Structure 1
């Protein structure tokens, strides 16, 4: 990813390879017990040189900051040295998301996104405690994957249990719902791994954002730069906000100096994780109609469109919209189409027209969005390369006649033992693909797995589509990708739909995202309150309840926390930034992971803060467009100056008007 390196040896901090041990903890100032440089443990970006352009190290800190003499852990970091012979003395320290994603594992992508910032400053990346290279909370597969017996207790009606869990709504009996989740029980890996961590002497109470904040302060102190710029995305904003809270509550000139703070895709620690993912997509849908009303041309053609959309949803909830003898649109149908279109810049521009047409009984836009023929692809899907070319045509012919591997995979089986095993087991193509997909996912980076997690979370509203699978297969390592694309080449549309059905199984999703499930669970359990009554009270107050899909609500999370003995009852207030750091709060209008409302809430409580919302930008907006990257660079250059964010105007959506001819569907 690196195309050029201009390495400068201008030491702005003093650091030695030998261990440096502090004599004690200054009151209110977290300090590392020791620090040392080490060979970088991860694969470096192309062009970077270990120990020269990329300097790695570790600090040793107490597992329990209240007991410095007790068990210790390490926090591993990497400094991407500036491409400059005279860099600014204040580096940028990057706070990774997740929680559970390894910044060092993602170093190639991160240095690519931040290369402009690196022109003038060192950039520091680090793995939070319990993650990958920082005393990883790793549970061996042979323990994690043990089968956990499950029986429905006597007296519990299985049909009633299934009905309770499959029909969650705002009117659900919460006592019955909680009891149903308790019958299902916590995640198997948590049941298996909790005793293992206890046997290892690991104090899971110490793996939360508060401890991560102290680690970050200790790291800044150990590196000894004169001041720091904090840059955070997603969970990294939670981490950064808790660093700011510590500074507010423990003011001291001995703390490392902070020059500026940028938080992007904000989620405060006070957010109830049960409802977080529930609000993202509805917020985006409503945002599309709000954007139309803020546009003079769109609002003139679709006056009051936001309220009209709300009214239509309420009407369809009361009685499905009957278009003709063959077309009836129920609330779930409309919500699915709105949700699948709203999160994409090339399809949300049709939403005002969609509502306008449905009000008049027309379905041209609705049908095209539902069928996936809007927006029209720029080009047809590329033919996937097939490493088994000598037999692919034969296999395709056979696949058109029979849909099991046993019917036509013999020629392929000779070239791959896994295919042979699948042949013996009589797996269907979709079943075999799903198995290989899950196996390949065990080898991908944590951020790629996070993308998979988002895909699986939203799969209920994603129409079955071959290209969508191609996009996610491309996340897999090269060694696994070829077989997966070969299998996709063999599938017809019915097979693709079956793959989507398999991937929508919650147990399958759990398997794919397992690699950071444990660390993510432990951190959330230490941080957040999981109160179903509180969560539903918030959801019942949502402006448009018809947009809420509660099928994926995290009802088992509290049970997972109980397994680890981690129960949090305190909800901290929003951070106020009495320390006065210049803060830039960034949102993306298409961010379905950290809804805009969270960023607005945090901004409203911060002193000395500004907020920018980038139109048509997804989660991690500062890395999603040239405009946002330019503004980010300008902020870190001059954090106290007025920002020129005029480029945002060019990012606003241009909505499709009533009289515009729809593009023809692709052949």
Structure 2
């Protein structure tokens, strides 16, 4: 409770000590920097201005023509090192996507994932150009506002279906791109090479001379390109879940999953007990996929589609620190093939909900056999029960603290009136907005507040248009009583809210496709995807055909921009660790080795029991990469590889019963 009290006291303190960050930014050079509020939720111990700072670095839109007047605001966060004597070179996280940022909603997760590195150095995160909250320059505000209800509920997508059911581009996408271009944005400047040139611009502006890069997913492609076009200042590199730019990623959409399936089949065959229990697993798996495609595989009397069978493998990639599904998959495949009882499948899907359940007290006691006295067993029951209660209470406290933090920030920075306006507006909605048409109209006008000047009259007009009765009187009274700064704060809050509710659409349908379509098509083609999918050892096309057709159709709206050497192998002697993972269904584990082809100072590791971005799955990956970044000349051993080896496979009880018969 002392820690909780201290943390709450810190939240109510007048101002944090900002000396560290003030000194840090004072050393910056080049691009202008502006400190801005951090967007929550933050990890509970973080104190804005003292342990974390957020802001914007303004970079040229085109580094090849920096004086053309066009700039981009890139949002950043610095997580301060937890030591009095931090290393001068921070860890810089380059996120994936492309286009999927972290600063709108992911700072708490980032703080947890990169906590091991903060023992010695700062961690710098920034949303890249055309990513997350750095997407303003490529956002079609007018089109999004006009379609706000559909965008916010994912009803608006750039694709429609023609009469034959084939995907075609909706009018929304070309209209959106035309609006962006009409604002003077050079869409061709939103690419990985320009993105790589942002890296040193951001870091020197924040006062750093050297840095260490940690890229995951698309961030590995960006890291490799930074090594090629902006190597100065890079001290060391980690690439984790690797997607080299010379690999035809969209042609090979099916490869990562197929490769992970093939590896599990080999692992089972290599273990005598698994091979004896589930012989010829690969052939059985092929048969199950084929029969599920034909509607012949049943579960609880219902047809099981091939996507469900493939999800046995793919779902492993969605589990962070929740145990391994790997040992149970052979039994699950065999149970579907047998067409009889499916106890293992039911255990995993129904009881476990795709995750290994935490051991309850009785399971632990049973596992210990007769080693425990009754008194010891009772103490164990109490201890594990307390642990569950404490865990639930901690989760609830984190939510409460996040709410308190937002309330304190709102009142401290903006004053109480904007909060009062927001509260009254929320209370008025159910009483006055009673139809779908009225809700759409109010939502469109609310989103439209961000498009004009933040004036008192516009806010009053919005209130008069959509509210009546006592709520109207109270809302107008609040508007009249607000200062100009408070009026501006309401508009800012409106813009932030709309951005938050439309960010998924922006990231997935605009930001990502800007990169994919301008850089990787026609280097990749739908015909190339079909050919590569047909060559895989297992038919996984049911999971990827629709996505592949969708991305290649969307890309018809974009103009491909050729760049010299973009798809060439990166060559570098910068110390590098490259990590591939056995569960990864987004980037093939084999690509981590391929990425080192031109790297003369690289170490490669395969982490069998981890998914996309092994850092988030296996604690030892953090230990290993921290050790490497602390000493990039160190040759790392295979301790983490051994610690994450495939565990013994599960032998279902029915196997022995079958053998006995």
TM-score (normalizing by structure 2):
0.64
> Could you say which residue in structure 2 is the equivalent of 1:353?
331
Q: Is the Cα–Cα contact under 8 Å of residues 231 and 263 in structure 1 kept in the other structure?
A: yes
Q: Which moved more, 1:369-378 or 1:126-135?
A: 369-378
For 1:342 and 1:625, how far apart are their aligned partners in 2? Answer: 13
Superposed displacement of residue 282, structure 1: 3.1
Question: Counterparts in 2 of 1:161-560, with a 5 A limit?
Answer: 161-162=164-165, 180-181=166-167, 184-186=168-170, 188-247=171-230, 256-272=232-248, 274-275=250-251, 277-295=253-271, 297-299=273-275, 301-303=277-279, 305=281, 307-309=282-284, 312-313=287-288, 316=291, 332=306, 335-336=309-310, 338-339=312-313, 343=317, 345-356=323-334, 362-365=340-343, 368=346, 372-373=350-351, 377=357, 513-516=504-507, 517-529=509-521, 530-545=524-539, 549-560=543-554
Q: Is the Cα–Cα contact under 8 Å of residues 93 and 230 in structure 1 kept in the other structure?
A: yes
Query: Does 2:33 align with 1:16?
Result: no
> Could you say which residue in structure 2 is the equivalent of 1:582?
575
Query: Does 2:613 align with 1:610?
Result: no
For 2:265 and 2:292, how far apart are their aligned partners in 1? Answer: 19
Q: Is the Cα–Cα contact under 8 Å of residues 37 and 55 in structure 1 kept in the other structure?
A: no
Cα 1:319–1:10, aligned 2, differ >3 Å: closer, same or farther?
A: closer
Q: Structure 1: any 5+ residue segments left out of the alignment?
A: 21-31, 163-179, 248-254, 386-414, 426-434, 443-509, 663-667
Cα 1:660–1:630, aligned 2, differ >3 Å: closer, same or farther?
A: farther
Superposed displacement of residue 524, structure 1: 1.6
The structure where helix makes up a greater share of residues is: 2
For 1:574 and 1:377, how far apart are their aligned partners in 2? Answer: 46
For 2:433 and 2:255, how far apart are their aligned partners in 1? Answer: 41
2:624 to 628, 631, 634: 631
Number of matched pairs: 506
Q: Is the Cα–Cα contact under 8 Å of residues 221 and 256 in structure 1 kept in the other structure?
A: no
Query: Relative contact order, CA 8 A, sep 6+: which one is greater?
Result: 2
For 1:210 and 1:298, how far apart are their aligned partners in 2? Answer: 47
Q: Is the Cα–Cα contact under 8 Å of residues 225 and 570 in structure 2 kept in the other structure?
A: no
Q: Which moved more, 1:540-549 or 1:112-121?
A: 540-549
Q: Is the Cα–Cα contact under 8 Å of residues 265 and 587 in structure 1 kept in the other structure?
A: yes
Q: Is the Cα–Cα contact under 8 Å of residues 237 and 263 in structure 1 kept in the other structure?
A: yes
Q: Deviations over 1:391-449 (max 9, x none)?
A: xxxxxxxxxxxxxxxxxxxxxxxx99988999978xxxxxxxxx9xxx9xx9xxxxxxx
For 1:595 and 1:85, how far apart are their aligned partners in 2? Answer: 40
1:561 to 544, 548, 555: 555
Cα 1:369–1:51, aligned 2, differ >3 Å: closer, same or farther?
A: closer
Query: Does 2:143 align with 1:127?
Result: no
Q: Is the Cα–Cα contact under 8 Å of residues 26 and 207 in structure 2 kept in the other structure?
A: no
2:222 is paired with a residue whose SS is helix
> Could you say which residue in structure 2 is the equivalent of 1:591?
584
Superposed displacement of residue 263, structure 1: 0.9
Cα 1:127–1:606, aligned 2, differ >3 Å: closer, same or farther?
A: same
Q: Is the Cα–Cα contact under 8 Å of residues 10 and 85 in structure 1 kept in the other structure?
A: no
For 1:424 and 1:198, how far apart are their aligned partners in 2? Answer: 36
> Could you say which residue in structure 1 is the equivalent of 2:78?
79
Q: Which moved more, 1:627-636 or 1:47-56?
A: 47-56
For 1:68 and 1:512, how far apart are their aligned partners in 2? Answer: 28
Q: Structure 2: any 5+ residue segments left out of the alignment?
A: 11-15, 151-155, 361-387, 396-425, 448-500, 657-661
For 1:538 and 1:185, how far apart are their aligned partners in 2? Answer: 25
1:552 is paired with a residue whose SS is helix
1:549 is paired with a residue whose SS is helix
Q: Is the Cα–Cα contact under 8 Å of residues 589 and 613 in structure 1 kept in the other structure?
A: yes
Cα 1:300–1:377, aligned 2, differ >3 Å: closer, same or farther?
A: same
Query: Does 2:149 align with 1:142?
Result: no
For 1:621 and 1:219, how far apart are their aligned partners in 2? Answer: 26
Question: Counterparts in 2 of 1:623-662, with a 5 A limit?
Answer: 623-651=616-644, 652-659=646-653
1:554 is paired with a residue whose SS is helix
Cα 1:308–1:562, aligned 2, differ >3 Å: closer, same or farther?
A: closer
Q: Which moved more, 1:191-200 or 1:6-15?
A: 6-15
Superposed displacement of residue 533, structure 1: 1.7
Q: Is the Cα–Cα contact under 8 Å of residues 220 and 256 in structure 1 kept in the other structure?
A: no
For 1:56 and 1:150, how far apart are their aligned partners in 2? Answer: 33
2:59 is paired with a residue whose SS is strand
Cα 1:330–1:514, aligned 2, differ >3 Å: closer, same or farther?
A: closer
Q: Deviations over 1:619-646 (max 9, x none)?
A: 2211222222222222212222122442
1:67 is paired with a residue whose SS is coil
For 2:642 and 2:564, how far apart are their aligned partners in 1? Answer: 41
Q: Deviations over 1:58-94 (max 9, x none)?
A: 4333212222221222333232221111112221111
For 2:80 and 2:194, how far apart are their aligned partners in 1? Answer: 27
Q: Which moved more, 1:357-366 or 1:256-265?
A: 357-366
For 2:75 and 2:304, how far apart are their aligned partners in 1? Answer: 52
Q: Which moved more, 1:97-106 or 1:369-378?
A: 369-378
2:124 is paired with a residue whose SS is strand
Q: Is the Cα–Cα contact under 8 Å of residues 327 and 648 in structure 2 kept in the other structure?
A: yes
For 1:548 and 1:123, how far apart are their aligned partners in 2? Answer: 40
For 1:11 and 1:312, how far apart are their aligned partners in 2? Answer: 60
TM-score (normalizing by structure 1):
0.64
Q: Which moved more, 1:568-577 or 1:637-646?
A: 568-577
Cα 1:315–1:540, aligned 2, differ >3 Å: closer, same or farther?
A: closer
For 2:636 and 2:286, how far apart are their aligned partners in 1? Answer: 39
Q: Deviations over 1:169-207 (max 9, x none)?
A: xxxxxxxxxxx43xx224x54233112112211111111
Q: Is the Cα–Cα contact under 8 Å of residues 584 and 611 in structure 2 kept in the other structure?
A: yes
Cα 1:38–1:293, aligned 2, differ >3 Å: closer, same or farther?
A: same
1:97 is paired with a residue whose SS is coil
Superposed displacement of residue 304, structure 1: 5.0
For 2:255 and 2:590, how far apart are their aligned partners in 1? Answer: 9
Cα 1:190–1:598, aligned 2, differ >3 Å: closer, same or farther?
A: farther
